Amino acid sequence: MTDNSAEAATPSRRALIGWGGAGLALGAVAAGGTVAMTNAGDEVDPAGAETGAAIAFHGDHQAGISTPVQDRLHFAAFDVTTDDRAAFVQMLKDWTEAARKMTAGHAVGEGAYGGLAEAPPDDTGEALGLKPSRLTLTIGFGPSLFGRFGLKDKRPEALIDLPKFAGDNLDRNRSGGDLGIQACADDPQVAVHAIRNLARIGFGKVVIRWSQLGFGKTSSTTPEAQTPRNLMGFKDGTRNIAGTETDRLKKFVWVDEKDGPGWMAGGSYLVARRIRMHIETWDRTSLQEQEDIFGRDKGEGAPVGKAKERDEPFLKAMLPDAHVRLAHPDSNQGATILRRGYSFTDGTDGLGRLDAGLFFLAYQRDVREGFVRIQRNLAKDTLNEYIQHVGSAVFAVPPGVRGTDDWWGSTLLTEEA
């Protein structure tokens, strides 16, 4: 990744880190050692969390989709408050520049200190001295955005308003949004810092509608690594699409030029669902029933009747309403999605129960053929007795930023697009 911005004379964080070329190690950081730069979607050495590896911002696809899943999440949905198209476009350009800096481990603008004492700093400062921590920032456009700025005719057919599914109890205050920003990192403060700076830059043009913190990734795009577990204690994402599976990514995740519209080629569609788990009830359920509900054993994660986690499941050996059986591509006309879910705990509900569960993130080439098809089949899932979908949003995720002159949404919002 190359950043052509001029180095300021102020002693900001980026002055300590230095500018790095694409594929090269950045300069020594204040905490010591070097920071490795990797391309978006590349496999990262398991030591990445310790070395503070940076994920390249530029690429044909946005980072944060097929990229190896980081440990922490801060997701924010924004509503646009300005009617000025030019101001909105400029904000997206400013956001892009800020994202370019932060994902490389640099401060935003002139930094958090050293500038004019009479003016607010350009950077909020809470990430000073921290490494990039594999930060990725991924933007998506919600259906409601296409009712503004003359974009009605550019709304993709695949960007549908999600239907109501059995058992939904959606909170409007945790659903929807004109824009969605997914910040993933191995350090929670780095992820929070990124969203906070974008919100500050967007003041007067956007406002946060809702946000969600996540921890303990519940799916992985690196199958050679240990499969993570959800809050129910079961391994999740065993059959997830790997970041190295180019053919599967092309078939199930990336929008093709022939899919239309042209501005989405190389992009994807994101469904975000906040799923509350009734974990107190689950914790009083017998082990055998828990395993029957999932269709896998709790220790190894092996499907029913098999010995190893990655053994091909024999669906007919499972109960008809087992989760794995109902979610499997063979039960959904081949429908396959890429998941990047995270656990969450947000205090209690006032009745002595934890407000906890799964923040589900799914990327796919077409929402109608991916999430909608699978979710409809899951209507008869016994797991529904222990979970409830309480938040929902869907976004069109444009292709990646392809150079220092490019910006988020350029394929949609340039006059020629």
The predicted model gives 136-165 an average pLDDT of: 97
pLDDT surpasses 60 at 36:
no
Q: Using 50, 70 and 90 to split pLDDT, how confident is the model at 1?
A: very low
* Phi then psi dihedrals of residue 280, to 5 deg: -65, -40
Q: What is the mean pLDDT of the chain?
A: 89
Instruction: Return the H-helix or E-strand segment holding 289.
Output: helix 287-294
Half-sphere exposure of 400 (CA within 13 A, CB side): 22
pLDDT surpasses 80 at 31:
no
Half-sphere exposure of 123 (CA within 13 A, CB side): 29
pLDDT surpasses 90 at 27:
no
Q: Using 50, 70 and 90 to split pLDDT, how confident is the model at 212?
A: very high
Show the CA angle centred on residue 93, arms to residues 89 and 97, nearest 5°: 165
pLDDT > 70: percent of the chain: 87
The predicted model gives 265-278 an average pLDDT of: 98
Q: Which of 43-47, 104-108, 328-332 has the lowest mean pLDDT?
A: 43-47
pLDDT of residue 221: 87
State the DSSP code for 382. G
pLDDT surpasses 60 at 12:
no
What is the chain's Cα-based Rg? 21
Alpha helices in 295-342 (DSSP H): 323-327
Nearest Cα neighbor of 252 from 236, 269, 237 is 269
3-state helix, strand, coil in the chain (%, to 5): 25, 20, 55
pLDDT, one tens digit per residue, over 225-235 is: 788 999 999 99
pLDDT of residue 51: 60
Give the Cα separation of 120 and 404 in Å (integer).
Answer: 26
Q: Using 50, 70 and 90 to split pLDDT, how confident is the model at 337?
A: very high
Give the Cα separation of 335 and 249 in Å (integer).
Answer: 13
The predicted model gives 127-135 an average pLDDT of: 96
